[in-house]
Structure 1
Amino acid sequence: MEIEPKHEPTLTPTSPQPGDDHARKHIISFISMLILTGISFYLVATNLLPPQTVIVVILILAGIQVLLQFFTFMHLDQKGHFFPLLFLFTGIIVAATVILATTIFMG
């Protein structure tokens, strides 16, 4: 009874390497965040828009960056992250409610 050696599949230089898609996703996300940060700095440095508009645009760009961080670098898009996502979005809803209530009653 002979035991046959196991043959591992060989990867050619042109075949996708394991983890290439993951690294590519991180690089694209990182470059996107750099571009969003550059846009924010440009808007502040050039006084192109009124200050109130710049604040709103920067908050929107910051929100996009937060989502990129959560789903790219914190891997919240993978299975098994239901409870962290639940607690995260519950915290966002509570914080938004407190901020809204504070601005309505104080302002």
Structure 2
Amino acid sequence: MSAEHSAVEEREKHHKHEGPKKHIIAFIFSILLTIIAFAMVAAGEINTTFIYIFLVLMAAIQVFVQMGFWMHMKDRGHAFPIIGILMGVFVVFTIVIMAEYWAWW
């Protein structure tokens, strides 16, 4: 049992606990991004193409904030989940592009 206990202690030494400060900052940033997106849509007198591009940009930033801080993808040891997510994004984009191409012809 002592070997198991020392292995757990060794893992805990390498993994630093961030504490709530970064989570609170990420939460506030996420709320701020959401408020900005709602305000842009509520303004109403802005070009719709610009709003669409802006909303996609805000959503992409929101995804990176969520993945980095809430899912801890910025930490070490998350290579396989990141590769899986990137492969999923690649497959989805490929399907969307091929569906558009198929519908176009």
| Matches of 1:102 and 1:48, distance apart in 2 | 33
Q: Which runs of 5+ in 1 are unaligned?
A: 1-17
- If the length of structure 1 is used for normalisation, what is the TM-score? 0.74
Tell me which stretches of 4 or more aligned residues in structure 1 moved more than 6 Å: none
Q: Which runs of 5+ in 2 are unaligned?
A: 1-15
Displacement of 1:49 in angstroms is: 1.7
- If the length of structure 2 is used for normalisation, what is the TM-score? 0.75
- Residue 104 (str. 1) matches residue 101 (str. 2): yes
| Matches of 1:24 and 1:71, distance apart in 2 | 14
- Residue 36 (str. 1) matches residue 33 (str. 2): yes
Aligned to 2:74, the other structure's residue is in SS state coil
More helix by share: 2
Letter of the structure 2 residue corresponding to residue 86 of structure 1: I
What number of residue pairs does the alignment pair up?
Answer: 89
Displacement of 1:66 in angstroms is: 0.8
